[in-house]
Structure formats: C-alpha cells, structure tokens
Amino acid sequence: MRLKIAQVGEPVLRQAARPLAAEEIASDEFQKLIDDMRETMQDAPGVGLAAPQVGLSVQLAVIEDREEYLKDIPADQLRERERQAVAFHVIINPKIVVASDTQAEFFEGCLSLAGFSAIVPRACSVRVECLDGRGQPKIIGATGWYARILQHEIDHLQGNLYIDRMQRRTFTSLDNWNRFYKSKPIRAVADALR
C-alpha cells in the first residue's frame, strides 16, 4: 500500500523519533509497514524513506539506490559522487558511531520537500550501528553517496531536514536545478553560488 508522504511543516518531521522495541519489530504489522514504506519509496521514486516521512515517529528507515536510477547519470558524475547501486535494506534505531572529518558537498533533495534541492555538506564516510528489518544487530560502513543517504535518513529520525544543513544560497527548485546546474561540476556550482 502506498503511504502519504508528509511535507515540510508537518510537526512529525521535526520530532525526534522513538526507538523501537524487539517485540514491535517482530510483529506482522511492523513487517507490513516495512513493505508499505518500500513500495512508497520506489513509487515516489526515492533512495530512502524514514518513518516520520509517512507520519510515524519511530526510528525506522528503508534505503535502496536502484541500478535503474543510475543509468541516466553520466559516468563522470557517478564517479564524482562515489555513487553506485545499493540493495534494499532496513535500518532501525540507527546511530552514526564514526563519521569522517572529510566532507563532500552535493545537491540533495527530499521526498518531504517535493520540488526543491540544495547543496548539503556531508561526511564522506560513516559507520552506523543499527538493527536490520528482523531486529538483528548490524554494522554498516558506507562511503560516498551511500554515506550521504544514511546521514540524510538518520537526520529524519532526529527531527532534522537537509534544509537545516544546506548551503542556504544554493536552495533551488528542481526545475532550475535541471536548467542551470544539473550538468555542471559541483565545485563550479558551489563556488558560483556562495
């Protein structure tokens, strides 16, 4: 079932989500929620979706960067972003335990800020401790675009949006991003807009 995606201004997006207990994760209802969130994310389409974005203030997010999303991105941009496909998975009660001091800046969008994008600095690599979709402990080491996705979704679980971290002068509509910035190297765009 496709779920309604909350948009900026809805209070649930600004609340710190509560951790989930083992018995909640094991329930049929919770497993259906994971399936519904996956369907909603893929239908949008997006590469991540946190439970607060569908109106539930719990520490759950689904992530998947599908191969088909990469096919129209030039190879040089994929390399610059260190972006490659990421298989579907679930993160529950995640904590970033290590984040590199080195940061990269790229445009980010969000299903809860439909139609907009901005340059956001993020750590180039992270180590995340969490539970998987069955409640089993998991450690994720991620770099590049995958690290960015994890940070973005974990921000949602803490009541934060990318607009809290963005380079303010780079905030743009997706139409203007496509028109002016899509094919330019990120450094040139960032320097021009500062």
Query: What positions carry a catalytic annotation?
Result: 153
Backbone angles phi, psi at 97, to 5 degrees: -100, -20
The closest of 35, 149, 145 to 94, measured between CA atoms, is 149
Q: Which residues, 6 or more positions from 126, have their beta carbon under 8 angstroms from its beta carbon?
A: 96, 98, 99, 100, 140, 141, 142, 147, 150, 151
Residue 137 preceded by cis peptide, ω within 30: no
Residue 42 contacts residue 82 (beta carbons within 8 Å): no
Count of other CB atoms within 10 angstroms of residue 139? 9
